[in-house]
Structure 1
Amino acid sequence: MKIKFLSKKELLAAIVIGVFLLSVFSLGFTALGAKPNSNSSNKTDYAIVEFDGRTRTNTQHANYKAWLHSNAPWAIIAREYNTVLDGMAIKLNGRSMNSLSGPGVKSVTASRLYQPLMSESVPLISADQVWSALGRDPEDFGAFGDIKVGVIDTGIDDTHPFISACRDSVSHKVFFSGTNNLGAPDRVFDHGTHVAGTIGGCYTTGAVQIGGKSLSLANPMSGVAPGVQLHDYNVFPGYGAGFIAFGGSAFSHDIIAAVEEAVKDGMDVINLSLGGPPAGPHDVLAEAINRAVELGTIAVISAGNSGNNLLTVGSPGSAANAITVAAASNAHTAVGTTVSFGGNSLAAAEGDFNTFSPSVSAKTSLTTPIDGCNPIGEDLSDLIAAIDRGECSFSTKIRNAEAQGAVGVIIVNNQPGAAVPMGHDGGVFPTIPAVMLSNADGAILKTHIPGVVTVDSSGLVEIPATPDLIAGFSSIGPTPFDFRQKPDVTAPGVNVLSSVFGGEFAFFQGTSMAAPHVTGAVAVLLAGNPSLTPEQVKSAIVNNADRNDNLEFNTFSGIVYGPLARGGGRLNVMSAFNAEVFAAPASFSLGGHTGGSPFVSSTEFTLENSGNTAISCSVSVTTDRAPFTDFVIDPKNPGAVFLAPWAFSGGAAQFITLSTSSVTLAAGGSSTVSVTFDAGRSLSGTGWSIGDVTADCGTNTLKLPWSLIFQQNSGALNGHAPSGFLMDHEGNILSADFGAAMPSVD
């Protein structure tokens, strides 16, 4: 099944509401501590009323209903909440929210729109090792059926063999208040089925169908927790504002209702591969998530797909108690085309454009200009054009080559890592075929030009890729407004193979694809130890994650962000499974600060020994990297500044003190360590610092990521607020940040 990608014109129409919300909620970043812009009419379709909790819930709800009847008789109660939130969702139909400020009301906020954020990954995160340790056979029916997972997404196709072959059924509930529903109320879309497959897909061998082609699996594949109980909470059942291919948009009040229902249904863990722009300092959905975790339901959420700068973690991934997941490259990629010449056989990525089937053999030519963005000077008749990625859309390059007579195009990636699927920009669709080579393979091709190459798209092949490269789209912390250390952990989110609607499979990318790896890992950990608390599970995952150099920087910009990009590191389920010592919190921020006064910040964390014998731990603090200087990364938007780490001589760690360098934890005991940052002077400049507190407890070494951010009074702290599009470092549109599975268009 081939996913339908929207044209740019369709895309622009689809995100009108989302872009409007950006302006309503003041998503540009101003000086530290600044309040969101309140200069709006406060008119909206739905509002969430939160009560102050001073009156018993049933009484408060009854009193407020009576007040509404007298003071706002036109208001319609869409939802009531009494578990993760004490409040109601009110349908306003464009009237002012100010009219809802009745007795006992703590706050009134607009219900915001959220979108779905768009094999080899299981052994990459060592989940299969834990299966063996637990004696769980992934081929068994219901291998992890004792754990309940709620998937709050676009619905699950429970007729897909990857979903149905290892469980009796999937429960389904629908939450929808939209008025633009063009499909059936229980309509299912690819996104949720893909997410569910990653979490708990059934053990599969042999071959799978991708876009009508058969891909032979090099190894068996399954979800991270095969056979786990899947519960479908569909909050995207109709065509709202957003992407038709992925179910449109969902209001926050519907998502809150799904979260509340999941808690009442006794879900062990919920997955939210969805997101929207930061919601300001008072995010009702994030508060509901935090309450759900306090009640015992673990929440795993995508960090967002608006990376390339600080402060881009969206809502609800900003929730303090959630496990917020960044995306990194997988251990494999899939391609559908081979490019052969001179004894070389290179693999190229297909996308939205026509492919070379049947195969094409022709001489090759570079273009002038090399990026193909302006009319090409060469006569390309009967030639295959090799064009560099960048500066304009893929479609523009291909159309320009076609205008000069080319029979096909090979785009050469200008970014490190694997080639990516290419998307159409919505203009005139080129008729000639086009594929992409990686930067390294493209360099090999260029040495052969103008020789003959044969390009063949008749089959599918799977090739190795470089794992653990932080995806350029993956959102970077800290959280806006409160500067919390996020994300928490990284998982595979690039070229993830899983199930889609109609019995086929597809490779998707996005933090949407990373989060379900962690959700599956949570299920596996709880299967091994059902008594683990949400806080212990989070520590096990975050503080025992893998580290390597690839995880330290953003692949688009090359900037080192450390924990602000990868959290604790890349998920390692086996290391998390073996954890005996837990930290609370699992990570921490030393805050966001303005200059002009001595810089002092403090916090604390607690180490807990879950074992039966005493453990001694040495505790130390480190910084991750040497500093950089400030610079502007986006030449087309000079106001968007990348902030740089401070030039502290010897690193920021010299200004951080711990209350102790060692602790002894009795069996079942705990100890609290205080952390203080004191520069001892007023600081100037703007920047951030990052690092770890390491607790070496013998067989269990924990790394607690920390961060802090600073700006001088004279400047504004600027970050790229998520907009309708994800831009690359050249200012070009890559894809819509609300649809992670969308391919790049340039």
Structure 2
Amino acid sequence: MTRNAFRMAAMATAIAALGLGALSVPAVAGQNSDNTAARPTQDTSVALVVLNGDPLSTYVKTKPAKGKKIDFGNTNVKAYRAQLSALRNDYKAWLRANVPGAKVTGEFDIALNAVAVQLNGASLAQVSGTSMVKSAQYQALYYPSAADPDLALISAPAAWATAGGSATAGDGIRVAIVDSGIDTTHPCFADTGYPAQTQVGDRSFTNNKVIAAKVFSNRTPQRGYTAEAVGEHGTHVAGTVACNYATPAKVGNVTIPYGISGVAPRALLGNYNVFPGDLANARSEDILNALEAAYADGFDVANMSLGGGSHGAQDLLTVAVDNLDQANMVVAVANGNSGPGFSTVESPGMAARALSAGASTVPHFVGVPISAAGGSYGGATGDFGTVTAPLTAPLAVVTGSVNGLSTACSALPAGSLSGQIALITRGSCSFSTKIRNVQGAGAAAVVVSNNVAGTPIAMGTDGTAGQPTIPAYMVALEDGMSLKSAAGAATTISNSAAYFLTSSANADIMAGFSSQGPTDVDVRVKPDVVAPGVNVLSSIPHQFCSAPPCFAFFQGTSMATPHLAGSAAIVRQQHPDWSAANVRSAIVNTADWGVLKAASNGSTIVYDGNTAGAGRENLAAAVNAKVALDPVSVSFGAEPSGSGQTRSATVTLTNLSGAAQTYSLAVSPVSGSGVGFSVSTPSVTLAAGASTTVSVSTNAAQGATAGGKQAVLWISSGGTPVAHAVLYTLVK
């Protein structure tokens, strides 16, 4: 039987090891800003007023013995607490009589004997003008030391806030992870606080958070495979979908300064393991079996961070994905890691009704300071060695043709780098190969410059025997170019690892490896939408670090896909009456257009739909979507150059707003000359829940130049754009 093998898109040992493009993303203004100097430090509308008398924690008769806690049932504690309450009542009576505009909004007696006061125009002197008050001060403002940057990029917290916040985000929605398993021992998937659930499959690998564990491989009977998470990939993907809210995390010995959360932290997960044990590929039947089992088990969303070669418009797995969407299961799929380059989209991401993910950057990493010639740079750590004590040695710049640096993909002269720290560049071969070659030339350590814009990434091994052992770090492209001018200078690599959150300019950069459309045969736009897929921090199984729980930074459209699956869970939770097609459209057609930047320079805005889809997803906009489009993008196919053809297609608009709406429609060209795009009507009026069909057309002039031509259909309500879709034709 011919095998149709699917590889996991962006396994840490493969995708992180590739010398292909890195990613970075342009953020919305203000997001992830590293400028905190202008933040207010006080709220002068409220005060804390401390009253005379010690609180329970320090009063001689109520403070607890060392190592104990206050005994609130103790007679002395009860008596003193009543005394403090009476004192606060006296103060409140005084305040009502003397500063009637001020209002007590909170009372405290454990850590402080105090009240909170809404001043309503009163001064501190006024509210403290009695002998009962010990002191008064404006309330200080505090900020998280860091926020989860990938969630901030897609506005997930704002989406949660529309329906109960993080405590209920994704509650009860079921997401099937068709991957390599989920480690239920990880705190991301602890089921404390979850109600009892019906669990299916192998109960050794389920709980009330991960409610299904099944294995799908027609080689299982011979090899005894189980649903256990042997590989890292599935657990990482699952954490991005639904890691429990604010789970504490470390990478190595570095504490991450915020709690890790999934996009839908209260969602329930299913482990549908198609890469069990040591298997690195799955057959079409295995994946189809997993999808059907997940559907039969009642799952609402499926995540497939996997991909393989395309088999044309009737590729059976893509047909299956399309059918499941029409049967009301949202299926999020990786667009593939075969970029850069057009027509590199993989199956089943090419499915017309898949929610296909392209990848962009997140501006953070774990690394160490590297200093040379008065400059200091962040060097990202990964799967290779690190220094155990500060290392100082001369910097050897290995010159070559990529930004003036060598890729070190071929053997270097023996002894040519003896005792030095080598500077080379990312690209052309695996990290293992280039670091091995540098080590063979005698280097004490290696610094790899990124070859695309954005922050450095955690370099992964290629899985071959005889991995290099010297310390190895990656620096950003900009930093690599600065280091290049420090050739021969004493360079120090620190052993003090830390978490780095870089400038928001390093966010929203397209990943160089992210596969691009159009699809073969029917020339459809892919990916549908882009999500964070570079430097994504998430959970990995306990066996992959020395001190679990384990977390790691991974790269790939595999990492972007679970952002979309988690987003689908949030949209479905808040709109249970929406169809899978409506959910998919809400995520795609409300994406932020014109924010994604080119990997080559990190600044040029990418408007090509076959690179960036409809833009970078915005979950807050998706949960508030006003209209759904089907299809989410329109392709007019390929047409012969010089044919002068006019082609039309239909788009169904559905009013999601809950009230009658009038939508304005307009088309704006984006790229390509000699081809015009239009829409059949300037406006439509729809009752709540109603649908209508409009026609969009393309008209190619005779002699139109060959290549892709693109426009955007904009749908507005009350003068404000509420949705958009890419229109595309290919002149050959």
Structure 1 and Structure 2 fold alike (TM over 0.5): yes
Give the whole-Å Cα distance in 1 for the aligned partners of 2:216 and 2:509: 36
Equivalent position SS for 1:177: coil
Matched, 1:479 2:511: no
User: Post-superposition shift, 1:498?
Assistant: 0.6
Alignment counterpart, residue 179 of structure 2, candidates 148, 153, 159: 153
- Give the letter aligned to residue 219 of structure 2: G
Equivalent position SS for 1:305: coil
User: Post-superposition shift, 1:234?
Assistant: 1.2
User: Post-superposition shift, 1:523?
Assistant: 0.9
| Native 8 Å contact 1:183 1:238 kept in 2 | no
Equivalent position SS for 2:241: helix
Equivalent position SS for 1:493: strand
Alignment counterpart, residue 274 of structure 1, candidates 306, 329, 336: 306
1:322-381: CA deviation from partner (whole Å, max 9, x where unpaired): 111111111x32133220245533111223432222220122232355414563599544
User: Post-superposition shift, 1:202?
Assistant: 0.7
| Native 8 Å contact 2:679 2:697 kept in 1 | yes
User: Post-superposition shift, 1:125?
Assistant: 0.7
- 1:519 aligned residue: 565
- Give the letter aligned to residue 236 of structure 1: F
Identity of aligned residues (%): 38
| Native 8 Å contact 2:454 2:602 kept in 1 | no
Give the whole-Å Cα distance in 2 for the aligned partners of 1:522 and 1:566: 19
Equivalent position SS for 1:595: coil
1:346-745 alignment to 2 at 5 Å? 346-369=377-400, 370-371=405-406, 372=408, 373=410, 375-376=412-413, 379-390=416-427, 394-395=431-432, 397-424=434-461, 426=464, 429-464=467-502, 466-502=506-542, 503-551=549-597, 562-595=608-641, 597-625=643-671, 646-648=672-674, 652=675, 655-681=676-702, 683=704, 685-698=705-718, 699-711=720-732
Matched, 1:121 2:150: yes
User: Post-superposition shift, 1:133?
Assistant: 1.6
Paired residue total = 563
Aligned alpha-carbon RMSD (Å): 2.6
Equivalent position SS for 1:444: helix
- 2:243 aligned residue: 201
| Native 8 Å contact 1:308 1:554 kept in 2 | no
- 2:278 aligned residue: 239
Equivalent position SS for 1:538: helix
Equivalent position SS for 1:219: coil
Give the whole-Å Cα distance in 1 for the aligned partners of 2:659 and 2:722: 16
User: Post-superposition shift, 1:128?
Assistant: 0.7
| TM-score, length-scaled by structure 2 | 0.72
User: Post-superposition shift, 1:592?
Assistant: 1.6
User: Post-superposition shift, 1:256?
Assistant: 0.9
- 2:114 aligned residue: none
- 1:87 aligned residue: none
| Native 8 Å contact 1:183 1:239 kept in 2 | no
| Native 8 Å contact 2:256 2:499 kept in 1 | no
Matched, 1:228 2:267: yes
Give the whole-Å Cα distance in 1 for the aligned partners of 2:332 and 2:441: 50
Give the whole-Å Cα distance in 1 for the aligned partners of 2:209 and 2:227: 16
Q: Could you say if the C-alpha distance between residues 588 and 551 of structure 1 is closer, same or farther in structure 2, counting changes exceeding 3 Å?
A: farther
Give the whole-Å Cα distance in 1 for the aligned partners of 2:425 and 2:318: 42
1:603-642: CA deviation from partner (whole Å, max 9, x where unpaired): 01122223344322221112224xxxxxxxxxxxxxxxxx
Give the whole-Å Cα distance in 2 for the aligned partners of 1:487 and 1:427: 36
Q: Could you say if the C-alpha distance between residues 181 and 343 of structure 1 is closer, same or farther in structure 2, counting changes exceeding 3 Å?
A: farther
User: Post-superposition shift, 1:427?
Assistant: 7.1
Matched, 1:185 2:77: no
| Native 8 Å contact 1:551 1:569 kept in 2 | no
User: Post-superposition shift, 1:391?
Assistant: 5.2
| Native 8 Å contact 1:114 1:249 kept in 2 | yes
- Give the letter aligned to residue 285 of structure 1: L
User: Post-superposition shift, 1:587?
Assistant: 1.2
Give the whole-Å Cα distance in 2 for the aligned partners of 1:386 and 1:539: 46
Q: Could you say if the C-alpha distance between residues 390 and 501 of structure 1 is closer, same or farther in structure 2, counting changes exceeding 3 Å?
A: closer
- 2:76 aligned residue: none
| Native 8 Å contact 2:174 2:299 kept in 1 | yes
**Alignment gaps of 5+ in structure 2:** 11-147, 195-207, 543-548
1:194-225: CA deviation from partner (whole Å, max 9, x where unpaired): 1111111012354x233xx2332233320011
Q: Could you say if the C-alpha distance between residues 547 and 375 of structure 1 is closer, same or farther in structure 2, counting changes exceeding 3 Å?
A: same
User: Post-superposition shift, 1:310?
Assistant: 1.3
Equivalent position SS for 1:145: coil
- 1:163 aligned residue: 189
User: Post-superposition shift, 1:403?
Assistant: 4.7
1:74-110: CA deviation from partner (whole Å, max 9, x where unpaired): xxxxxxxxxxxxxxxxxxxxxxxxxxxxxxxxxxxxx
Q: Could you say if the C-alpha distance between residues 379 and 598 of structure 1 is closer, same or farther in structure 2, counting changes exceeding 3 Å?
A: closer
| Native 8 Å contact 2:365 2:456 kept in 1 | no
- 1:61 aligned residue: none
Compare CA radii of gyration and give the structure with the larger one: 2
User: Post-superposition shift, 1:647?
Assistant: 4.1
Give the whole-Å Cα distance in 2 for the aligned partners of 1:339 and 1:237: 40
Give the whole-Å Cα distance in 2 for the aligned partners of 1:182 and 1:120: 41
- Give the letter aligned to residue 114 of structure 1: F
Matched, 1:217 2:252: no
Give the whole-Å Cα distance in 2 for the aligned partners of 1:494 and 1:443: 21
- Give the letter aligned to residue 476 of structure 2: S
- 1:628 aligned residue: none
| Native 8 Å contact 2:335 2:557 kept in 1 | yes
Q: Could you say if the C-alpha distance between residues 529 and 647 of structure 1 is closer, same or farther in structure 2, counting changes exceeding 3 Å?
A: closer
Give the whole-Å Cα distance in 2 for the aligned partners of 1:262 and 1:130: 26
1:412-443: CA deviation from partner (whole Å, max 9, x where unpaired): 22322222333456475444322221111122
Give the whole-Å Cα distance in 2 for the aligned partners of 1:428 and 1:442: 27
